[in-house]
Structure 1
Amino acid sequence: MELLDNPVRAYAWGSRTVIAELLGQEVPSPHPQAELWFGAHPADPSRLVHEDGSHTSLLDALRDDPERLLGTDRSGHWDATLPFLLKVLAADEPLSLQAHPSIEQARTGFAHEDAAGIPRDAADRNYRDANHKPELICALTEFHALVGFRKLEATVRLLRELEVPELAGHAELLAAQPDQDGLRALFTTWITLPQSMLDTLVPALQDGCIRLAGSGGEFHAEARTVLELSERYPGDAGVLAALLLNRVTLAPGEALYLPAGNLHAYLSGAGIELMANSDNVLRGGLTPKHVDVPELLRVLDFAAGPPPVLTGEPDAGWIRYDTPAKEFLLRRLADGDDGAVVAVPDGGPRILLCTAGSACVRAPGTELKITRGGSLWLAAHETALSVQPLVEGTQLFLAGDGLG
């Protein structure tokens, strides 16, 4: 087991406090810090910190000795790559409205863009790799998000309660066809409106949201969110699309799984994000970045309903967050207050992250102390490990693959 040195990604929507505090750096940070990455993504891999103080890229280490670090079975299954990417995500402002492709869609799209000669780092490139990107977000703080399409009868009620004349016809069309085809038709209409119409419709929507936000009724939180988004992104079609999505608030320790095709936007909060090792994003608005509407429509899943909130299952001293994804599995230490020794599950490569307190990590013949913001690389051949919290309130997360 070796300590990791991990890259911080600076995006405009990031926090100036969360990651800086986690790493014991100056607060506030000079620039927004949005994500802290743990893994072997080619764009920004972690580095192994050796006993002599030297560093080795985890990506290079895996390329040099995949069978030892990943395990013979995992190395073959995952094509000698680390299948997951772990992040601390810290959002002070909303992220873009986005969805991720399935594995088949990613392979097709990647090959098509390669054949078209689009550089892989081009701003208008959709597919930077041939992998899908299912993901899990587990809240560290209260976490707010728009996730998946709301039940259509509820959306019809919302559109009617807004009392925006310009939206009345759209509400009745959806009421007349309350199914995936009706939802697709409405979303497609809104996302392709000419800017001249958006410049009229979004201000009218703002007026309706002002009335509804002050009502204290069923949709007051949704109305406030749309108001906030319209102020940040005036005239953006994504503001209209936000009307169709579930607004979710996670308490610390609660999680959401986002499969392929799920339209979502993280609004604010800090969380642990674990995903397949991919950077494929199809954006739908709330961003100045590239938006490819036809490609977005190709990958979107228009099934409607509330997203299941995961609270995790007990697992021998850990809380385990099960998902259909085989690339990753997240565990959280169940109780960091009692100082009990807890076994670290064996099986494939793992990354252990401490987000609060400190712990002693023991392997046969050796041990390491991990403190807040610290992380460890646990290779497949390192088995019979255990952790022991050293102070009350210790919080640990363990990322691995989902092969069992």
Structure 2
Amino acid sequence: MDRLTNPIRPYAWGSTTAIPALLGVEPTGEPQAEMWMGAHPGAPSRVDRGAGEVPLSEVIAADPEGELGAAAVAKFGPALPFLFKILAAGAPLSLQVHPDLARAKEGFEDEERRGVPIDAGHRNYKDPNHKPELICALTHFDGLCGFRPPLEAADLLEGLGVDSLKPYVDLLRAHPVDAALREVLTAVLTADRAEMARTVADAAAAAERLGGPYAPYAGLVHHFPGDPGVIAAMLLNHVRLQPGEAMFLGAGVPHAYLDGLGVEIMANSDNVLRCGLTPKHVDVPELLEVVVFEPGEPAILRPEDEGEEVYETPIDEFRLSRYVLAPGAAPHSLPDTAPQILLCTAGRPRAGELTLAPGESVFVPAGETAVLSGAGTVFRATVVV
């Protein structure tokens, strides 16, 4: 079992205080958006087995079966298939979707064939993998997820009283569900930017004045003036997760995180197609191939089992669960069939002989038994083999 030293990513949307507060350290004044736990080549965790700190990715590459187990290597290859994070949103993230596995492979191979540089700003696919993800709230956590029913979206837009939104209202009411959503999103993202900037400003002013169901959208214009994603965001469901609640985001589901601190886990991929709320490249034709134009309420996951509380998802690259350890309770012996990362978010529990403070984590190789004891909250990230 290895205590992890984890990199913190300073993305501009990050909170300046949430991660320092969890870790019990002084803020630096700079945004601290994500703390990464895992072996992602972009920013791997580091471990020290007696010869100084080395990247976890190098440790795994030196002995994949010894670290991950034969079953995980056979199923996912010789790399840890998930990335585990603490995510602290102090401002909205971009409105985005992720491709399914087939589309990711096809898109990656196409861009490789065409010689698009991997770091090019207009490149869509950084790797041939999909990126399902799960966010679990540590504080109240606001986000947008999935499409509203078109008639509900029409009522919301109409209620703003902005004349330039009327064509979108009519489209939402005049077509079948999938066609309505597709046509409106296409129209919003391809509209004349100067005209859209005026529409966005008028809609944001109305949303700020009206409040209520409009409140989550009112502040977007302050971060993204003139961005058509502000209108696109109003097509989506607003979600507020309570601490301990989670939300799974599958392929093609448009979403954005707005504010809050959470634990996130995802398949090890960098594939993101953006819909707005960003200065980065938006490839509308490719986006329309990936988005699933189906309305529906987001499914909120609320594990209730005693002991290991599992957040069930339909994929195998990751499995997230939580242990809420009461003082004096019996220790929990964890399965050793797959690699796992254990993260403390409250109290001072023990993983084996190691005591964990909030924000501290350990890597447990496959085949090594880990026992949780003491009092606190521990999240367990592993794979399904």
TM-score range, shorter chain: over 0.9
Counterpart CA distance in 2 for 1:340 and 1:246 is: 41
Q: 1:129 is matched with which residue: 127, 130, 137?
A: 127
Residue correspondence of structure 1 range 346-365 to structure 2 within 5 A: 346-362=336-352
Residue correspondence of structure 1 range 88-103 to structure 2 within 5 A: 88-103=86-101
Q: 2:62 is matched with which residue: 61, 64, 72?
A: 64
- AA at the equivalent of 1:38: M
- AA at the equivalent of 1:54: G
Q: Counterpart of 2:38?
A: 39
Q: CA deviation at 1:153?
A: 2.3
Residue correspondence of structure 1 range 212-361 to structure 2 within 5 A: 212-213=210-211, 220-221=212-213, 223-314=214-305, 317-361=307-351
Counterpart CA distance in 2 for 1:264 and 1:350 is: 27
Q: CA deviation at 1:314?
A: 1.4
Q: CA deviation at 1:337?
A: 4.2
Alignment partner of 2:378: what SS? Answer: strand
- AA at the equivalent of 2:316: K
Counterpart CA distance in 2 for 1:135 and 1:336 is: 29
Is the 8 Å Cα contact of residues 153 and 178 (structure 1) preserved in structure 2? no
Aligned residues: 385
Q: Counterpart of 2:384?
A: 402
- AA at the equivalent of 2:20: A
Could you tell me which runs of 5 or more consecutive residues in structure 1 were left unpaired when the two chains were aligned: 214-219
Alignment partner of 2:219: what SS? Answer: helix
Counterpart CA distance in 2 for 1:250 and 1:281 is: 23
- AA at the equivalent of 2:235: L
Post-superposition CA distance 1:178-225 (Å, at most 9, x none): 410111011100111111211221122134324432xxxxxx23x122
Residue correspondence of structure 1 range 105-254 to structure 2 within 5 A: 105-213=103-211, 220-221=212-213, 223-254=214-245
Counterpart CA distance in 1 for 2:303 and 2:137 is: 12
Alignment partner of 1:95: what SS? Answer: coil
Q: Counterpart of 1:5?
A: 5
- AA at the equivalent of 1:377: F
Is the 8 Å Cα contact of residues 148 and 245 (structure 1) preserved in structure 2? yes
Q: CA deviation at 1:132?
A: 0.4
Q: Counterpart of 1:23?
A: 23
- AA at the equivalent of 2:128: A
Counterpart CA distance in 2 for 1:210 and 1:39 is: 41
Post-superposition CA distance 1:311-338 (Å, at most 9, x none): 02416x1210000011001011134444
Q: Counterpart of 1:386?
A: 371
Counterpart CA distance in 2 for 1:283 and 1:337 is: 45
Post-superposition CA distance 1:119-172 (Å, at most 9, x none): 212222211111000000000000000111012221122122222222223212
Counterpart CA distance in 1 for 2:241 and 2:263 is: 12
**Large movers: runs of 4+ above 6 Å:** none
Alignment partner of 1:156: what SS? Answer: helix
Alignment partner of 1:399: what SS? Answer: strand
Counterpart CA distance in 1 for 2:110 and 2:347 is: 48
Is the 8 Å Cα contact of residues 208 and 219 (structure 2) preserved in structure 1? no
Q: Counterpart of 2:81?
A: 83
Q: CA deviation at 1:346?
A: 2.8
Could you tell me which runs of 5 or more consecutive residues in structure 2 were left unpaired when the two chains were aligned: none
Are residues 368 and 243 of structure 1, via their aligned partners in 2, closer, same or farther at CA, if it must alter by over 3 Å? same
Is the 8 Å Cα contact of residues 204 and 219 (structure 2) preserved in structure 1? no
- AA at the equivalent of 1:198: M
Alignment partner of 1:162: what SS? Answer: coil
Post-superposition CA distance 1:250-281 (Å, at most 9, x none): 00000000000110110000000000011111
Is the 8 Å Cα contact of residues 146 and 267 (structure 1) preserved in structure 2? yes
Is the 8 Å Cα contact of residues 38 and 83 (structure 2) preserved in structure 1? yes
Is the 8 Å Cα contact of residues 343 and 359 (structure 2) preserved in structure 1? yes
Q: CA deviation at 1:299?
A: 0.7
Post-superposition CA distance 1:6-48 (Å, at most 9, x none): 111000111111212233332x223100000000111111111
Is the 8 Å Cα contact of residues 166 and 204 (structure 1) preserved in structure 2? no
- AA at the equivalent of 1:344: L
Alignment partner of 1:395: what SS? Answer: strand
Post-superposition CA distance 1:350-399 (Å, at most 9, x none): 0001111111222xxxx22222221111011103x211124xxx111000
Counterpart CA distance in 1 for 2:232 and 2:328 is: 46
Structure 2 residue 363 is matched with structure 1 residue 377 = yes
- AA at the equivalent of 2:11: Y
Is the 8 Å Cα contact of residues 9 and 34 (structure 1) preserved in structure 2? yes
Counterpart CA distance in 2 for 1:283 and 1:212 is: 28
